[in-house]
């Protein structure tokens, strides 16, 4: 949370999910790109989705600010944390849309339809 705030995001702007995969389902080179020591079995991938058009350095700030507490609180070495940033266009609808698979149609809830107007 501190990392996203340091990178300029609002504290409430958060949607987190945590996935654990079996060790056999995550293939990782122990020293790529040029670490002096091997990664451990505590290696983790942190995937972050951010809106495109953010100021230069936003991803780096977020990674740097998150890596510090991971090291302090979880005792993770830098080589055991990999950040992957995915940029998406920020023009998503304000409210979610859903697809009714059975009917094959799409129903979007707009503020107007939500109030019955």
> Residues 55, 59, 65, 70: what is their CA dihedral angle, to the nearest 10 degrees?
170
What is the predicted pLDDT for the residue at 115? 43
The CATH number given to whatever domain includes residue 20 is 3.30.429.10
What is the predicted pLDDT for the residue at 93? 61
What is the predicted pLDDT for the residue at 1? 63
Q: Rounded CA gap, 65 and 62, in Å?
A: 5
Peptide bond into 33 cis (omega under 30): yes
E strand or H helix at 5, and its extent? helix 2-6
Q: What is the pLDDT of residues 28-87, one digit of tens each?
A: 999 998 999 999 989 999 998 888 888 888 889 989 988 999 999 999 998 999 999 888
Residue 73's domain comprises 2-115
- Examine the pLDDT at 108 and tell me if it is beyond 60: no
Q: What is the pLDDT of residues 7-27, one digit of tens each?
A: 777 777 767 778 888 888 989
pTM assigned to the model: 0.66
What is the predicted pLDDT for the residue at 29? 92
Reduced to 3 states (helix: H, G, I; strand: E, B; else coil), residue 83 is strand
Please name the residue that has the structure tokens 């990674």: 63
Domains: count for the chain? 1
């Amino acid at each position: 949370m501190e990392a996203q705030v340091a990178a300029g995001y609002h504290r409430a702007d958060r949607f987190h999910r945590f996935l654990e995969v079996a060790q056999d389902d995550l293939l990782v080179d122990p020293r790529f790109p040029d670490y002096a020591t091997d990664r451990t079995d505590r290696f983790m991938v942190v995937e972050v989705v951010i809106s495109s058009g953010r100021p230069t350095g936003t991803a780096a700030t977020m990674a740097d600010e998150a890596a510090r507490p991971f090291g302090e609180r979880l005792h993770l070495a830098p080589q055991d944390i990999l950040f992957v940033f995915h940029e998406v266009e920020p023009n998503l609808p304000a409210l979610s849309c859903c697809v009714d698979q059975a009917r094959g149609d799409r129903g979007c809830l707009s503020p107007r339809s939500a109030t019955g107007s």
